[in-house]
Amino acid sequence: MAEWRVTVDRSRCMGSGICTAMAGTYFLMDGERSRPAAEGVPPGEAVLDAADSCPAGAITVTAADGEVVGPRD
Ligand code: SF4
């Protein structure tokens, strides 16, 4: 399956560290804010769960066809 793309809007991130705690494979703290460890990620629940849990709504996960798959409603 094609990779998903994950982004962190660093202007929205409030540095809670939830994403790095939940999915440290995919997110790193860079100073006081998170950033993706890599732009492309294998499709999976962990990155979606992190996007769902971000209190700032800063994480967006996009499928290869451009569809936004996370956060989920
Ligand atoms: S969960 Fe959201 S607010 Fe918290 S560090 Fe990650 S991107 Fe930033």
Mean pLDDT of 61-71: 97
CA–CA separation, 23 and 36 (whole Å): 10
The beta strand positions in the chain, using DSSP E, are 4-8, 27-30, 33-36, 40-41, 59-62, 68-70
pTM of the complete model: 0.96
In a domain, 46, yes or no: yes
In a domain, 70, yes or no: no
Residues 2-52: tens digit of each pLDDT: 899 999 999 999 999 999 999 999 999 999 999 999 989 999 999 999 999
* Domain that includes residue 52, residue range: 4-63
In a domain, 45, yes or no: yes
Q: Whose Cα sits closest to atom 2 in ligand 1?
A: 54
* Tokens describing residue 31: 């100073």
Residue 73 scores a pLDDT above 90: no
CB of 13 shorter than 6 A to ligand 1: yes
* CATH code (residue 8): 3.30.70.20
As for how many domains the chain has, the answer is 1
